[in-house]
Amino acid sequence: MSIELRQQIEKTVPLTNEEFELVLSYFKEKHFKKHQIVIHEGDHVPYNFYIVKGLMKSSYINPEGKEYILQFALEDWWITDPEAFHNQTKATLNIDCLEDTTAFALSLENKERLCKELKKMESFFSKKTTEDYIGLQKRILCLISSTAAERYHNLLKEYPGLIQRIPKSMVASYLGVSRETLSRLATA
C-alpha cells in the first residue's frame, strides 16, 4: 500500500523498516469521493496530501467564477495549498477530487515533529521541494516561450497517462487556454 512512498523517500535517503514505520505513523489515511472538495478557499489547510490512489487538482477561482488549475496530483504525488499550509493562513486555492481518492495526510505539526525526530526526513522534504521548484520553473518557461499548441503537445509528451483521466476542459485550464482553443488544437 505504501511501497511507493517508501521508494520515493529512499530516492533521497535510505530508511530502515523501523524508520519507515515511524514515518508512516505521522500520517493519517484519508478517503475522499469523486467531486468531493478537500480544501475550500478560506479554509484552514490542515494537511499536505500524499496521493496513494486517485486524482486531485488544486485551482484558483477568480471573483467571476473562472477556474485556473495550478496542479493535478495523481498516485505518488503531493498536493496542498502550499502558502496556506506552510504559513498556516487561510486557503486561497481550492482542492478537489477528480476520482475517488485515498491519501496520506500530513499536518504541519507532524511534519515538523517528524523532521525533528528523524533528521533525514528534513533532507527528503528539502530535496523534494527543490525538485518541485525546478518543475515549476520549467512550466513557467513553457508558458512564456511556447504557443498554446506547443504547450499542449509538451504536456502530452511529459504526462501521457494524465490526459486520459482528465476532462479536456481542465487540461485547457491548466495550460492557460480556452476549452475551444484546446479542442481545435487537439484535432490538429
Binder to a copy of itself among 17, 62, 164, 187 (CB under 8 A)?
62
123 part of the interface to a copy of itself, by CB under 8 A: yes
Query: What gap in Å lies between CA 127 and CA 125, rounded to an integer?
Result: 5
**Which listed range, 1-9, 126-134, 135-143, 162-170, lies at the site for DNA (CB under 7 A)?**
162-170
Least Å distance, CB 162 to DNA, is: 13
97 part of the interface to DNA, by CB under 7 A: no
What residue has cell string 511556447?
A: 146
**Closest C-alpha to 93, from 102, 84, 101:** 84
Least Å distance, CB 129 to a copy of itself, is: 5
C-alpha cell at position 141: 518557461
Identity at 57, one-letter amino acid code: K
173 part of the interface to a copy of itself, by CB under 8 A: yes
Site for DNA in 20-79 (CB under 7 A): none
169 part of the interface to DNA, by CB under 7 A: yes
CA distances from 44 to 35, 39, 57, 112 (A): 20, 8, 17, 18
DSSP string, 76-128: T-EE--HHHHHHT-B-SSEEEESS-EEEEEEEHHHHHHHHHHSHHHHHHHHHH
Binder to a copy of itself among 3, 63, 144, 157 (CB under 8 A)?
144
Residues in contact with a copy of itself by the rule CB under 8 A: 60, 62, 66, 68, 70, 82-83, 86, 119, 122-123, 125-126, 129-130, 132-134, 136-137, 139-141, 143-145, 173-176
